[in-house]
Structures are given as structure tokens and as C-alpha cells.
Structure 1
Amino acid sequence: MSASPLCTVDDLAESKAELDEIRHHLHQHPELSYEEADTSSFVAAKLEGWGYTVTRHIGGHGLVASLTAGHGTRTVGIRADMDALPIHEQTGLDYASIRDGKMHACGHDGHTTVLLGAARQIARTRNFSGTVHLIFQPAEEAGSDSGAERMIADGLFERFPCEAIFGLHNHPGVATGTFGFRAGPLMAACDTVKVRITGRGGHAARPHLAVDPVVVGSSIVMALQTVVARNVDPNEAAVVTVGAFHSGHAANVIPESATLDLSVRSFSPKVRETLEARIRALVAAQAESYGASAEVEFIRGYPVLVNSAAETEFARSVAEELVGPEHVISPFPPIAGSEDFAYYLQKIPGCFVRLGNGENRPMLHNARYDFNDDNLTIGAAFWTRLVERFLPKDSA
């Protein structure tokens, strides 16, 4: 008996209306990081209804749905994120968020629905041999102590062993249904730096009797512009952005202190260390030169997301089979944004995939953003076919 045909996008056509309904429900009911109780319960109920063994409350509101078929012993994991953002939605959609100040502005409602669509198709056809673990993760947007970290700490891979793990994120600015792949570093490490400058307050008319933290902070801001330009290899990529500068309240008062908040991005551990060292040194030197002092808090965020070569090539081949090479970008350009999927890839090999959300659609984290429903069946077919290819069905 020959193996069953692999999944195509057309095979998901009959599921499109149901997937639209699921996605719109999730979009209307967003929950922030660490608060995804309703979303998790909704997802778990769907999966249990399709025959999955669902384990809840992993690292908080995370869950894993497991399904075994055939006699195969191999395993694979696929992850979707579930949390929303603290943004007031401005889309005007009839399924817009009903929770004020909370919005699915990054497409996690779509990611979750895509994986649910695949879950339904995988359970229906069971065209694989082995075990698939579908990982629905909370708190990707947390920035630190994220859902991935918590699920790993809660024994994710010990309890649900995976030979490889795969994940997906939509990408506005790229044509709908176009897949992007890049082996090696794909997304940047993201660190936050908080600088507190202490000077000496005084009267604006007597600056010589004060130490002005505004001047000190301004000097630090300008000096920081040299870090990437003069301390990082031109063949490497890095970003140092001062996103906030706060000091003072009145025009005629020299304040006592000032604060700076920085976002720092890098694509290699070596560059990451260089950035921290140079930022600390520049801040201290600039403050001292003005007779002020400065404290630097360097908060490590998500690490560099590094796709493994073999799994990236495998996922790329699945996408080319599904949608054709003309709808695949490889290598995809590096992305300065960050993702806690990076923590999974530090533990086991895998690949994080980008899926075009449309060329002229609002960017991520925008109040007018919306996940493109045209991707629901495309993404679900991709995950289904990937499972079928990673865990090929027994032939007899």
C-alpha cells in the first residue's frame, strides 16, 4: 500500500469558515501576557474535541496537545503563541477587541488559529507515524521571564520530548502566503538599558553652581551614537536606540537627575558583550567628565534566535512543495525584532518561519494591524504537511 498523498492548501478549504470564526473569536477576546486563561481553555477544548491528549498549566497558561499515530518513534514539536498587547485597537473591524486597551496587534490570534487548523487536519487524516506535540505558549510579548522560559523551566522537553521544534510568525510587508527562511541568526537579541544620572540641582540662572543632568544626558546620547559606528565590526549588525529621556519639570530649574532608557539589539554573543561593555564605559566617562555620576542597569532580554541548518532546509523544502519556489524567500533578511522562540532553539534544533501578511498592510504592534485570514489555510496546510514529512506514515 502506498503512502497517502501529502496535505495541500486545497485540503483545508472546507475548514476556512471555521478557522475564520475561531480567529475572529480570539481577536475579540485578547488577553495580555500571563493572563491567557480564557484563551488557553478555549484552545484546549477544541483540541480535546479532536482527540488530542491535552496537558494544561505548563509554565502558567501554556498547554501541550499530543497525538500519536502508527508505530513510529520519532517526535516533533510545533509552537504557537497566544498573548496580546496593551494597545487600544483602531481597526474598526466588526470583530475588533471588546476589551479596552488590549489587542491582538501582533497576530498571535492568527498563529494560534493556524496551528488549530493544522491540529484538526492532522487528527482527521492521521497521515503520519510517530508523536506530534502542539505547543500553545503564553507570554511571548513579556520581554523577560517569558512563556518560553517558563514552559522550559516547567520541564517542557523532558515531559514532551521533541527531536525538533518549529514556529511561525506573520510578516507584514511581504506578499500574503510567501514563506521566508534563514539558517543561522534570524532575529536579534534584545536588551534594555536603564541609565540614571545624578547631578546637582539648582537655579537656571546660576548654572555654574549646579551640575546639569540634562547636559550630561545629552552628551551621553550623542556618545552612544558612536558605539555601533566605531566599536562594532561593519560586517556585523547592531542597534543602540535611546527611546526615552526624562528630566526636570520647569524651565527655570536645573533638575537633580535624569534617566535614559535604551533598546539594544545584536545578532551574536560577541557583539552583545561588546555593546554592554562600551555602553557602560561611555556612560561612566561622560558623566564623570561633567562632575556627575551615573548608574547603569543592563537588563538581558531574549537571546539571538538561531535557526539550525538542517531543520531550516527541511522546512524550506516543505514550503516549496506546498506553494512553489516562487512563493519562498531564502535566505530571508535578518530581523532586528526579537522572539522568545530563541530559548527553544537553545535546547533543541528547529526553525522559526516567517509568513507574509501582505505587502500593504499595517506593521506589527500597530493599532490598525490585523492578521490576514487568507493565511489561515496556507499556514495550517504547511504545518500539516511538515508533520507528514517529518513523521512519514508507515507503508505496507
Structure 2
Amino acid sequence: MRPVAAPETQPPRAELKAAVELYLALHRAPELSGAEHSTAALLTDRLTALGLTVHPGLAGTPSFLAELRNGPGPTVLLRTELDALPVTEATGLPYASAVPGVMHACGHDLHAAAATGAAARLAATRADWQGRLLLLGQSAEETLTGARALADDGLYERFGRPDAVLAQHAAPLPAGTLAHATGGPLMAGSRTLEAVLHGRGGHAATPHLAADPLLMAASAVVRLHTLTARETAPAEGAVLTVGTLHAGTRANVIPDRATLSLGLRAFTEAALDRLQEAVRRVLAAESEAAAAPGPPELTVTARSPVLTPDPDLTASLRAVHAEHLGAGRVLAAVPSPATEDLTHLTRLADGTRIPLAYWMLGTTPAATWRAATAEGRTVPANHASDFAPDLRQALPAGITALTAAARHLFADGPHAVGAFPPSPEAAP
């Protein structure tokens, strides 16, 4: 076992300055899922300058893998996302998004800057560790398609399986804190569904000669939300959201079809299966009640498995984080119905699992948190137009958390990683 370097509470000033500048550049120029070409180029240029070897354009997407070999030892993969959201920023920050209608409203710019900052710290301290560092920049996490594309493209067949995967995610918690899972799931599994309701178009003046799919859709939206309120046990924590409804072109024309996009979230595959079947039943019933000319179509466009961090690895890294950041800044995470597609890269098709450590990174400024707590209101959260991480606290903590976790695994070797046993089921 190699000696472990003394705990660091934050990176050196020069490295932190470079990470801040990278974050600001990323935040000003967000890109949507699958189109993160400039984002990837900015990151890979920085990683190449740090001495990492970059493999760009994975799976025909902007995703990339950067590699730093430093002698024999474990392979540790850090994952960051690249994509932003179709949200118009309303933070009023001087470095707000310069791209109309697009914003880093989920903190992926923070993740990328922190992961690159950790790579810089590890590259500068190679004498303190041995092994192989991988940094994965993943496209299209927000659409829950990026990780699956990489798995299907044979990421690990090309570059080898890591001994552990590390990732973190911005969350509306006090800035500079970390929150780990306590042994069970951290994030829900999900299904994204696209539904088409078929009608019979016609003139608004003669609605009796038509079958109105917009009315079917409106009725279905109300009924669909009862599936979690009245057909699902509250303890299951299931969530159903109708995110879009599109139908029609003019007020005097009854359309011939309506489309809905739905998101299902739950902490078991059985619950997701049950919800999906209930959605099909409700849509079919509304179509039949309206004498639709044909049954509805229902397609699964994306899915993500439940995300459960390795409990042994999580316990060891919680202690590492407490040592570096202070025990008061390391919290217990409440399971969240938020979803994440990274499990496609840790629960593999051959039934094996790669140990995953995944924690939440607090981003809410202290003053905002105190005021909201005192007044009994919520704080700006992910996907909101006013989501604005406290950069001074969150970024150093994110860099330190990844760096300390990687060093721990490199120093202690493969036996530091608590491996999952083979899974009896293949990854979906």
C-alpha cells in the first residue's frame, strides 16, 4: 500500500483559478444533448494540456474518454456529463448563458469543471499514486441515451473495464456539502414514453363528424396523474409526469392526432412495469370512449435503471470525504426520484457490476439556504431557470471530493473496492 498524501481541503490557487475559468466558459456556451461539440472540444483541449490522452467521438457522439497512465494499479473512471437543457436562464449572473433558450440548469458545467480540476490535481501529484485514471465526458445524459450508446458501442471492450466508477451531481443542498446514499437506492429508475392518440380531423363547426384527439389527450392527462395518486402505494415513491402535449394547428381545425411525452420514475423495475401498463390502459380507454378510428401507439424512447451506489465503496469514501472536508460537511442523502443513466455503464450485459460511488454535491449559497429555511420555502433547484450554484463553495468541494476518492482507490489498490457480486439479470 502506498502512503496517502495529507488531506487537502481545496485545490491550489492556480488550479482552482483554471477550473473557475473553465466553468464560466462552459456556463456561457451551453449545448443541448447530442450536440455538445464545442463543450467536448473545450474539455479535451484542457485535458490534453494536462498530459492526458484523449479518445474523442465515442459512439459517433461528442462523448470522449481521457486517459492518464501512471504505473501499475487500479483503473478509476470519473464520469461527467456534457449537455445542457432547453431552459431560458433567469439568474441575472454576469456569466449567464449567451445561447438563447439553452442553459446549464442541472449543473453539468459544474461537474465538468470539477472532474477536470480533479484530473489536474492528480496529474500534478503523480508521485502520490499509481494506476490508470480515466475521465469520461458523456453526451446526452439529459435524454437518458448517452450512457447506453457508449455501452452498446463497446466502451469497455475498447478501453478495458475500470475497477470503480466515481461521479457526483449538483443538488439543492448547502453549498460545499456532500451527501452519500445510506445503503439503498440513491436515484430512481425511469421510462420515457411517447404516446400518439389517433383521431379523425374535421371542421370546428361540425365536431360531431370528427373524433377529437385533443379532447382525448386532455382527458388522459387528468386520468394519468391518478395512477400514482390512487393506484400506487405512497411508499413506492413513484412519479408520473406528462411533459408535453402537441395537437392541432388552428382554432377552426380539429386535428387527426395528438402526441404526449411522459416520464415514469420509481425505485423498482416492477413498479415501472406496472405504471407503463397502466398508462397503456388509460390511453386505450380514452381512445375507445371517444370512438377513435384506431388504438393509441405507445413507445419507450429512453430508460434508465435504478441507481444504487456500492454500499462498501460508499462507506469508505464517506470516511475519506469527512477527513478532507470535515465530518459536518458530509451528509446522508435522501433517495431521490431524479434519474441518471450512468447505471448502463456499471451494470453490464454479462451480469457483472462495476462498483459505483455516486454522491450529491451541495450548491445552494448559505444565505439563500438560511433565508429559505427560516421562511419555510424551497430553494432554486435543478432544471429551474434561476438555478445558480455557489461557485466559491461548490467547485472546490467537488474537485476535492473526486480527487480524494480517486487517490484513496489508487493508494489502497483493488482490495479497496468493494465489488458487487455478479447480477443474475442482464442490464436492460
Change beyond 3 A, Cα 1:153–1:5: same
Distance 2:55 2:255 in 1: 54
User: Residue type of the partner of 2:134?
Assistant: H
Distance 1:106 1:116 in 2: 18
Change beyond 3 A, Cα 1:80–1:226: same
Equivalence for 1:346: 347
1:1-28 deviation line (CA, Å, top 9, x unaligned): 9824244124434432222112112222
Structure 1's unaligned 5+ residue stretches are none
- Note the C-alpha offset of 1:138: 2.0
1:155-206 deviation line (CA, Å, top 9, x unaligned): 322214201101111112x101111111432222332333333344567676
Q: In the alignment, is residue 243 of structure 1 matched against residue 262 of structure 2?
A: no
User: Residue type of the partner of 2:82?
Assistant: M
Alignment of 1:133-148 (within 5 A): 133-141=134-142, 143-146=143-146, 148=147
TM-score, scaled relative to structure 2: 0.81
Match of 2:410 among 371, 391, 395: 391
Range moving further from structure 2, 176-185 or 205-214: 205-214
Q: In the alignment, is residue 223 of structure 1 matched against residue 223 of structure 2?
A: yes
Change beyond 3 A, Cα 1:226–1:11: closer
- Note the C-alpha offset of 1:135: 1.4
Distance 1:2 1:383 in 2: 19
Distance 1:44 1:211 in 2: 54
Q: In 2, are the aligned partners of 1:194 and 1:297 still within 8 Å (CA)?
A: yes
Equivalence for 1:109: 109
Equivalence for 1:15: 15
- Note the C-alpha offset of 1:207: 5.8
User: Residue type of the partner of 2:96?
Assistant: A
- Note the C-alpha offset of 1:80: 1.1
Distance 2:209 2:228 in 1: 35
Alignment of 1:257-336 (within 5 A): 257-292=257-292, 293-303=294-304, 304-330=306-332, 332-336=333-337
1:391 match: secondary structure: helix
Distance 1:238 1:231 in 2: 10
Distance 1:195 1:95 in 2: 39
Q: In 1, are the aligned partners of 2:145 and 2:341 still within 8 Å (CA)?
A: no
Range moving further from structure 2, 75-84 or 305-314: 305-314
Q: In 2, are the aligned partners of 1:181 and 1:312 still within 8 Å (CA)?
A: yes
User: Residue type of the partner of 1:386?
Assistant: A
User: Residue type of the partner of 2:275?
Assistant: L
- Note the C-alpha offset of 1:269: 0.7
Change beyond 3 A, Cα 1:121–1:225: closer
- Note the C-alpha offset of 1:335: 1.8
Change beyond 3 A, Cα 1:337–1:7: same
Distance 1:10 1:250 in 2: 58
User: Residue type of the partner of 1:356?
Assistant: G
Q: In 2, are the aligned partners of 1:12 and 1:377 still within 8 Å (CA)?
A: no
Q: In 1, are the aligned partners of 2:91 and 2:385 still within 8 Å (CA)?
A: yes
RMSD: 2.8
Change beyond 3 A, Cα 1:194–1:56: closer
User: Residue type of the partner of 2:62?
Assistant: H
Q: In 2, are the aligned partners of 1:167 and 1:352 still within 8 Å (CA)?
A: yes
Q: In the alignment, is residue 131 of structure 1 matched against residue 136 of structure 2?
A: no
Equivalence for 1:370: 388
- Note the C-alpha offset of 1:128: 1.3
Equivalence for 1:83: 83
Distance 1:337 1:369 in 2: 16
Distance 1:215 1:42 in 2: 47
1:187 match: secondary structure: coil
Q: In 2, are the aligned partners of 1:28 and 1:95 still within 8 Å (CA)?
A: yes
Distance 1:194 1:238 in 2: 19
2:407 match: secondary structure: helix
Q: In 2, are the aligned partners of 1:81 and 1:138 still within 8 Å (CA)?
A: yes
1:84 match: secondary structure: coil
Change beyond 3 A, Cα 1:160–1:208: same
Q: In 2, are the aligned partners of 1:185 and 1:306 still within 8 Å (CA)?
A: yes
Distance 1:251 1:45 in 2: 52
- Note the C-alpha offset of 1:121: 0.9
- Note the C-alpha offset of 1:239: 1.4
Change beyond 3 A, Cα 1:324–1:301: same
Equivalence for 2:186: 186
1:312-346 deviation line (CA, Å, top 9, x unaligned): 2233222222222322222x122222222121232
Structure 2's unaligned 5+ residue stretches are 349-353, 369-378, 414-428
Q: In 1, are the aligned partners of 2:144 and 2:340 still within 8 Å (CA)?
A: no
- Note the C-alpha offset of 1:247: 4.5
- Note the C-alpha offset of 1:296: 2.9
Q: In 2, are the aligned partners of 1:232 and 1:274 still within 8 Å (CA)?
A: no
1:357 match: secondary structure: strand
TM-score, scaled relative to structure 1: 0.87
Number of residue equivalences: 389
Range moving further from structure 2, 160-169 or 253-262: 253-262
Distance 1:42 1:255 in 2: 45
Distance 1:284 1:196 in 2: 11
Distance 2:315 2:228 in 1: 32
Change beyond 3 A, Cα 1:254–1:86: closer
Q: In 2, are the aligned partners of 1:7 and 1:384 still within 8 Å (CA)?
A: no
Alignment of 1:7-46 (within 5 A): 7-46=7-46
Q: In 2, are the aligned partners of 1:302 and 1:339 still within 8 Å (CA)?
A: no
- Note the C-alpha offset of 1:264: 1.8
Equivalence for 1:171: 171
1:193 match: secondary structure: strand
2:57 match: secondary structure: strand
Moved over 6 A (4+): 203-206, 249-253
